[in-house]
């Protein structure tokens, strides 16, 4: 009896927490860019580097290896070279700048960059119906990728 109550309470608490996390999530249109990049976490929930590595690699999510080489993933073949290699990227950029690059790199580089905005609705024409109004990654996936990028430090 006691155990069941504890369990129920635990689930209720977890639901409340996740609701809280959702409500503090910043919508793509509301993201604030400063000179330093994006200083605030998009979710308030710390990113998980293990999840971030999965998102980074997944060809339907970040698909980052398509364009960027990453020695940390040397066991995966054929890294692209459209963008710079990401080895030691965390020494080269602070987290707020990295966040801005992942969210919408056009705000940091130029409009000419070919890097997609992973948490942006400022996208190309004729977006396929199933992607209309949707970002490539969720806010938490962006935070997870950032946590992973933070580990790429020599």
Partner 1 sequence: MKRLLIAGVALAAGLTAASWSMAEPVDDTLEIDGKPMITRAKAPEGMPFDEVLSGWLYREAETRDLERDTFENPGMVPVEDGEVLWSKVDGTAGKSCATCHGDAAESMKGIGATFPKWDADSNKPINVELQINKCRTEQMGAEAYPFDKGGQNELTAYIKHQSLGLPVQIDLAEGDMQSWWEQGKELYYTRTGQLDLACASCHEANAGKFIRADHLSQGQVNGFPVYRLKSGFTSLHNRFRGCIRDTRAEMPKAFSDELMALETYVTWRGTGLSVETPAVRP
Q: Which residues are CB-contacts of 51 (< 8 A; sequence separation ≥ 6)?
A: 141, 144, 147, 148
Q: Which residues are CB-contacts of 93 (< 8 A; sequence separation ≥ 6)?
A: 101
Asked whether the beta carbons of 69 and 80 are under 8 A apart, the reply is: yes
Q: Of the two residues 12 and 94, which places its CB atom closer to partner 1 in the complex? A: 94
Stretch that binds partner 1, among 9-17, 19-27, 115-123, 144-152 (CB under 8 A): 115-123
The only residue of 18, 91, 109, 151 in contact with partner 1, by rule CB under 8 A: 109
Closest to 142 (Cα-Cα) out of 30, 79, 64: 64
The only residue of 53, 108, 146, 152 in contact with partner 1, by rule CB under 8 A: 108
**Tokens, residue 123:** 């996208």
The only residue of 7, 14, 16, 131 in contact with partner 1, by rule CB under 8 A: 131
User: Which residues sit at the interface with partner 1, rule CB under 8 A?
Assistant: 35, 65-67, 69, 77-85, 92, 97, 108-110, 112, 114, 116-117, 123-129, 131, 134, 136
């Amino acid at each position: 009896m006691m155990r069941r109550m504890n369990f129920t309470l635990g689930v209720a608490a977890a639901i409340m927490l996740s609701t809280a996390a959702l409500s503090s999530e910043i919508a793509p249109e509301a993201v604030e860019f400063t000179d330093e990049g994006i200083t605030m976490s998009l979710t308030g929930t710390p990113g998980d580097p293990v999840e971030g590595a999965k998102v980074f690699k997944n060809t339907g999510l970040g698909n980052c290896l398509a364009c960027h080489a990453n020695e940390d993933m040397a066991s995966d073949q054929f890294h692209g070279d459209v963008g710079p290699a990401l080895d030691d990227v965390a020494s080269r950029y602070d987290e707020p700048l990295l966040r801005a690059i992942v969210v919408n790199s056009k705000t940091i580089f130029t409009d000419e960059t070919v890097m997609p905005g992973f948490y942006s609705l400022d996208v190309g024409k004729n977006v396929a119906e199933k992607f209309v109004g949707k970002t490539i990654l969720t806010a938490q996936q962006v935070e997870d990728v950032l946590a992973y990028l933070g580990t790429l430090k020599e």
